[in-house]
Amino acid sequence: MNARVEYVLRFGDNALVLAQRLCAWVAHAPIMEEDVALANVSLDLFGQARLWLAYAGELEGAGRDEDALAFHRGAGEFRNVLLVERPNGDFAETTVRGYFYDLWASLALAELSRSKDERIAAIAEKARKENAYHLRRSEDWMIRLGDGTEESRSRMQRAVNDFWRYTGELFLGDEVDATMREQGVGFDPTALREPWLERVRATFAAATLDVSSDVWMQRGGKQGVHTESLGYLLAEMQVLPRTISGAAW
């Protein structure tokens, strides 16, 4: 597959899969105000996913639109990082997963907004503004729940320990990253690691949480090798268009 298609799909799939996870919270959140807030984040991410996937489809030139890419690819064809496909768990797990992603996305989107590919730059610029708000919210929740009660702190620390192993992949480059960087389209993911860690340390200090260390990092999502949970997520998401084929909705 064309490197640029592959590259754009990665950002689209990250947004799509996380949005799909988050929308399952609506009507089940800890307080009704949070139902509204989580729906807003999910709506933003679905909106971003549509823009990325539509562009990926155009670049590919095989006549696949956003829905064809979202509903008619198998798990092995998805290019999202493992972090975003992990199940919602409790509100602590959702918060930690969201915070790790939002912080990474704030750095990645800032890089992409300077891309030589104008379409990529424009999508990133739009997404960057939405993401800044998501990060504000998730960072606030990290601190509230970390520095809250004994119970909330222990739930948060457990979630951090669980999710840390999925953060390494965010900063791993491969050939696609290298090609995109050479063309001035993409960025070097390893360069985001230090600024990401620096802000994590500051947030964790305020949240009285410990940064995990000595954890074996999982990888593979960007190349299509996922955790078991993605297959279930897609089975649910794709059921209708796959059951009644050739239909308009």
Partner 1 sequence: MYTSISDGIDGNANGGDEREQAFNARLDRAMKIEPSDWMPEAYRKTLVRQISQHAHSEIVGMLPEGNWITRAPSLHRKLILLAKVQDEAGHGLYLYSAGETLGTPRDEMVAALHSGKAKYSSIFNYPTLAWADVGAIGWLVDGAAIINQIPLTRCSYGPYARAMVRICKEESFHQRQGFEIMWTLAHGTTAQHAMAQDALDRWWWPSVMMFGPPDSESTHNEQSQRWRIKLFTNDELRRKFIDQTVPQSEKLGLRIPDPQLRWNERTQHYEIGPIDWEEFYRVIKGDGPCNKDRLQTRIDAWEDGAWVREAATEHARKRAERSDAA
Partner 2 sequence: MTKGWPQWEVFVRSEAGLAHKHVGSLHAADVRMALENARDLYTRRNEGVSIWVVRSEDVHATDPDEAEAFFEPSEDKRYRFPTSYHVPEGVEHL
Of 11, 69, 19, whose CA–CA distance to 241 is shortest? Answer: 69
Min dist CB 65 to partner 1, Å, is 10
Single-letter amino acid code for the residue at 186: G
Single-letter amino acid code for the residue at 100: F
- Interface residue with partner 2 among 27, 33, 245, 247 (CB under 8 A) is 33
Of 18, 19, 36, 17, whose CA–CA distance to 27 is shortest? Answer: 36
CA angle 116, 121, 124 (to 5 degrees): 150
First to last CA, the chain: 29
Question: Is the CB of 40 or the CB of 113 nearer to partner 2?
Answer: 40
Which window, 33-41, 115-123, 161-169, 174-182, contacts partner 1 (CB under 8 A)? 33-41
Tokens describing residue 62: 């095989």
- Interface residue with partner 1 among 1, 72, 151, 210 (CB under 8 A) is 151
Min dist CB 14 to partner 2, Å, is 22
Tokens describing residue 28: 């089940």
Min dist CB 137 to partner 2, Å, is 6
Q: How many residues bind partner 1 (CB under 8 A)?
A: 48
Tokens describing residue 136: 């504000």
Enumerate residues 42-81 that contact partner 1 by CB under 8 A.
Answer: 42-43, 46-47, 49-50, 53, 66-67, 70-71
Going by the DSSP 8-state scheme, the letter that residue 58 receives in this structure is H
What are the C-alpha distances in Å from 88 to residues 22, 96, 97, 99? 8, 10, 8, 13
Which window, 4-12, 33-41, 105-113, 181-189, contacts partner 2 (CB under 8 A)? 33-41
Report residue 94: phi and psi, to 5°: -60, -40
Given the rule CB under 8 A, which residues bind partner 2? 31, 33, 36-37, 40, 136-137, 140, 144
Given the rule CB under 8 A, which residues bind partner 1? 20, 23-24, 26-36, 39-40, 42-43, 46-47, 49-50, 53, 66-67, 70-71, 90-91, 143-145, 147-149, 151-152, 155, 236-237, 239-241, 244, 246-249
